[in-house]
Structure 1
Amino acid sequence: MNEINSSWRCGKVGDICEPRKGKIDPKKEPSQKYIALEHIHQQTGRLLGVGDSKETTSIKAIFKAEDVLFGKLRPYLRKYWFAEFDGVCATEILPVVAKNGTDRKFLYYIFQQDKFIDYLDQKSFGTKMPRTSWKDISEYDILIPSLSEQQKIADILTSVDNAISKTQAIIEQTGKVKKGLMQKLLTKGIGHTKFKQTEVGEIPEEWRVESDFIKIKSGYGFNLSEYADEGVPLIRINNVKHGELDFDDIKFLPETYLESYHQFVLNENDLILALNRPITQKRLKIAKISKQQLPAILYQRLGKLLMDNSKYNQDYIYYYLQSEKFLEQLSATFVGSDQPFIKTSEFAKLRFSIPPIEEQNKIVDIFNSVFNKMQSEYTKLNHLHVLKKGLMQVLLTGKVRVKIDDHEAVTT
């Protein structure tokens, strides 16, 4: 424990809250709102949906509005929710009630701390299905400020959460706009009045249906022994997400490989496609390489897409590949069930609706404007998450104190 002000005291989680008692048999009770682990989003505290207790059969735990619900199963998943209504929940979720002298929202943020989650992860029992217990939760050491300071701390963190929620709502709405635009522009184009029926559906008369114009150049299978502590990033299949690269788990190769394996070196604007399990969560694992991500080398099970850029706007193809209609085509060609993969000979047979290059460029400009809006909001969202994490680290430990008369001012 760090040195604290005399108005704070050392304690444990069990000093400020307790489990809510009470369980029901849903077969014998009226229908109620039901929360399972899958209804709670990881790390954000967002509710993804609500079930009906009558559609379940096993015993459920009771919770009330403003209880803190915490997922005991795999606590590292960080499934927590500040209850907005009364209901029942799965027994793998623990509803806790703030004791007198404890602000409910302050308690909610205690359950979100990184050190708290790490502590529970270490204390978890069970190998395949690790879970925590109220005993371990209750014994976690915390610092407890006065009720008025708890409320001010909770107000500050809640204001950040509200900003996160608003930004997330903008992203979701922009995503819906993007999806609608993709469906319209990739099938109807811009300003057309005459259409024709084709093997990919109705398209403008001026458009054509093409296949076998994209070549896939696969990456190379480097050995683990070739990895280096630093050097050139090696782009592997787990780094390719839905429209972006993730560098959280990046490996490196010696810089000399840029010359000796030059044919696998990536360039700005290259399109990289996952060849194994290319579709997850109904979305394509594809990424476009930016200048900031270079230099980089391509690993096996990934393919670089090559085409004639004088006939095809690469960004148009990038968006087309992510459309629902194309994903249906692609899924039908998969080889294997457990680990479906793209066979290049089958990929060559896939059909694309292609406008004249001038219209491709206009469609891409529209898509890019929406994409840039989403990227701006994602950047804002990431900054807010970093801000919240930093504030929690200093406010919940007393390293930074809030003024009781003005919660927006802090002293160190």
Structure 2
Amino acid sequence: MNSQNILQQINAEAKFIENSIGYQKTKIGTIPKDWKVKKLKDISNRVQRKNDGKSHNVLTISSKGGFLNQTERFSKVIAGENLAKYILLRKNEFAYNKGNSKTYPYGCIYGLEDYEEALVPNVYYCFEIREGVTEFYKHYFIAGKLNKFLARVINTGVRNDGLLNLNVTDFFDVPVAAPPIKEQQKIASILSTWDKAIELKEKLIEQKKQQKKGLMQKLLTGEVRLPGFEGKWRSLRILNFCNTYSGGTPSRTRKEFYENGTIPWIKSGELNSRKVTQTEEYITEKALANSTAKLVNPETILLALYGATAGVVAMSKIRASINQAILAIVPNDNCDNNFLFYYLENHMDKVTKKYTQGGQPNLNADIVKKMVVKLPSIEEQKAIANILSNIDNNIELLEKELNGLKQQKKGLMQLLLTGKVRVKV
């Protein structure tokens, strides 16, 4: 079933009705009169099941991704000798991570779905739904419906170990909505069907990205030639056909360099978007004249040199200034700008690995300028870049559709999980 069919199914199931029963004001807000307000402890059982000593996956919770295998996130199991103290969680049981984040400043709750059993840190508050529909509460927790109540009982923020100051009694005393069971089931069904549409779109995007990756490897190395093109490719160092330069950071002590600035100022972390269309900070004309910051024109290739983003390639879509951690690369007329962008994107991983020391890559302008690039004729360069650009455009369209689905689901959750809109059961 494709995403369009799933959305049609949602529309068929979600026969929204006007609430004729009326509403009531409660501690969790205005809800339908036939909904109840209960404490989390009234609908759940705490899980404190000890590690049974068998071989289990060891998981941690990421605020954005939910349960992650520790070996995948940290390249190893970080529990060490504490593994014996871990909690054995079973499928469809929940765990609350008291770590705060931008996504969930008061901690996050996720249900175990991809494993029958797994071990989780004993600092998590774990529980199962005893009274109610597990799938309904999965969406309820992800929507952050406990946040304002957790905020009231968290004591003085974050502890030294990075966890929020929240005792287990206060956690299980937070209030939750308890709609009629049949309505919980219907809401869960609608939102889960919406999740399937999102999942299908995500899989399609990943397939397109893998297709592009395979094409890049073949087309940008000459392994596969496009019809109508022949002849050897030339091997040239970047310094032979490109102008390169870095920027700088205006003094932070000079307010006039930043206050009311109108010139976008690109930092290396902003290259992760691949296409830079806006910046977090702006500088003034005075800053540009009195610092080593330099301007780049639209369609300039940008390469991050230092730190965690070293080797990341992006294209500036705006006229902006850059800092010292970014190298601007401007090819001459013998090289197509987009071809070089894709070429670098495909090859920088090997380069950064070569110059990685102490776990972090460290590049400089000389390393980049001495890189050898294989160039076909300008016509073949443009043809290759056009194919890859078309795939990129398709991926961008799919990602826009995915964001639309996520926003629609977010709005739907707000309506259904509060009872503002009812569904026929």
Question: What aligned pairs does 1:28-67 form with structure 2 within 5 A after superposition?
Answer: 29=54, 31-32=55-56, 34-37=57-60, 42-45=63-66, 58-59=83-84, 60-67=86-93
Question: What aligned pairs does 1:6-405 form with structure 2 within 5 A after superposition?
Answer: 6-26=33-53, 29=54, 31-32=55-56, 34-37=57-60, 42-45=63-66, 58-59=83-84, 60-74=86-100, 76=104, 78=108, 80-91=110-121, 92-100=123-131, 102-114=132-144, 116=146, 123=154, 125-131=158-164, 134-191=168-225, 206-211=232-237, 212=239, 213-224=241-252, 225=255, 226-228=257-259, 231-241=262-272, 243-245=274-276, 250-254=280-284, 264-277=294-307, 279=309, 284-290=311-317, 294=318, 296-308=320-332, 310-323=333-346, 325-333=347-355, 337=358, 340-398=361-419, 400-405=420-425
**Separation (CA, whole Å) in 2 of partners of 1:79 and 1:321:** 40
**Separation (CA, whole Å) in 1 of partners of 2:269 and 2:215:** 29
Q: Which amino acid letter does the alignment assign opposite residue 67 of structure 1?
A: E
**Separation (CA, whole Å) in 2 of partners of 1:88 and 1:263:** 51
- For residues 162-193 of structure 1, the C-alpha deviation after alignment (integer angstroms, 9 at most, x for no partner) is 11111111111112111111111111254389
- For residues 59-83 of structure 1, the C-alpha deviation after alignment (integer angstroms, 9 at most, x for no partner) is 2322332223443444647572442
Q: Which amino acid letter does the alignment assign opposite residue 18 of structure 1?
A: N
Q: Which amino acid letter does the alignment assign opposite residue 160 of structure 2?
A: T
- Asked if the contact 1:63–1:89 (Cα under 8 Å) also holds between the matched residues in 2, the reply is yes
Q: Which amino acid letter does the alignment assign opposite residue 320 of structure 1?
A: Y
Give the match's secondary structure for 1:188.
coil
- Asked if the contact 1:240–1:286 (Cα under 8 Å) also holds between the matched residues in 2, the reply is yes
Distance 1:328 1:191, change over 3 A: closer
* Residue 351 of structure 1, CA deviation: 0.9
* Residue 315 of structure 1, CA deviation: 1.0
- For residues 135-187 of structure 1, the C-alpha deviation after alignment (integer angstroms, 9 at most, x for no partner) is 34323333322222222222222122111111111111112111111111111
The total of aligned residue pairs comes to 376
- For residues 94-131 of structure 1, the C-alpha deviation after alignment (integer angstroms, 9 at most, x for no partner) is 4421122x110111112212453576578354234325
- Asked if the contact 1:235–1:297 (Cα under 8 Å) also holds between the matched residues in 2, the reply is yes
- Asked if the contact 1:240–1:246 (Cα under 8 Å) also holds between the matched residues in 2, the reply is no
Structure 2 gaps, min length 5: 1-27
When structure 1 is superposed on structure 2, of 122-131 and 360-369 the one drifting more is 122-131
- C-alpha RMSD of matched pairs (Å): 3.5
Distance 1:251 1:121, change over 3 A: farther
* Residue 402 of structure 1, CA deviation: 1.8
* Residue 223 of structure 1, CA deviation: 3.1
Distance 1:229 1:153, change over 3 A: farther
- Asked if the contact 1:65–1:86 (Cα under 8 Å) also holds between the matched residues in 2, the reply is yes
- Asked if the contact 2:89–2:112 (Cα under 8 Å) also holds between the matched residues in 1, the reply is no
Give the match's secondary structure for 2:221.
helix
TM-score by length of 1: 0.78
